[in-house]
Structures are given as structure tokens and as C-alpha cells.
Amino acid sequence: MKSDQKRIVVEKEDPSRHVYTILLRMAPADIGPFTMLVESHGHLAIPRTIDPKLGVLELLTAPDYIEETRQIINGIAKEIDLELIRV
């Protein structure tokens, strides 16, 4: 699924921690490049690999940075297939 077919950015706010969690699935081989691209934009989001065999990755971001994080993910999604796991 390419990003031009569907935008893949959904976030869930955890009010107790004031963090947005974005949970995505991608090809396991894409986790490294995706992580590097996210990290290259500074400290907007913290990527965490949840399950490397299944390609499950979580991004943590502050509410102040959710729009910028969404834009970064949508840009990366033009090159890497991403799938929403959890809302």
C-alpha cells in the first residue's frame, strides 16, 4: 500500500503521560531506514521497535510536535509502505 492511496498517520493520546503514540507496521527491512529518517528530523519523535520480525514500530511524540511528526511520516510514506496497526 503506497501513501498516495491512503495516508497512514493515526495517533492515540495518553493523557496520563501527555504523549501521542503512533503504531505502524512496515517491512522489517524498512525499520532501520524509517528510524534513521525520523531521527534525522531532531527530537520530534522517538521511534521504538516493538516487534522487529513483524515490522512493528511505535513513535512517541509530544502534543506540541504531532503536526510536524505527521508531516514527516507522510513524507516518508511516499517511499516506504506503512500500515496502521492501532488507533
> 7-34: per-residue pLDDT in tens?
555 555 555 568 889 999 999 999 999 9
Residue whose C-alpha is closest to residue 44's, from 12, 24, 22? 22
Domains and CATH numbers, the chain: 12-86 (3.30.70.920)
* Rounded Cα distance, 62 and 48, in Å: 15
Residues 65, 32, 1: CA angle, nearest 5 degrees: 80
Prediction pTM value? 0.76
Q: What is the pLDDT of residue 8?
A: 53
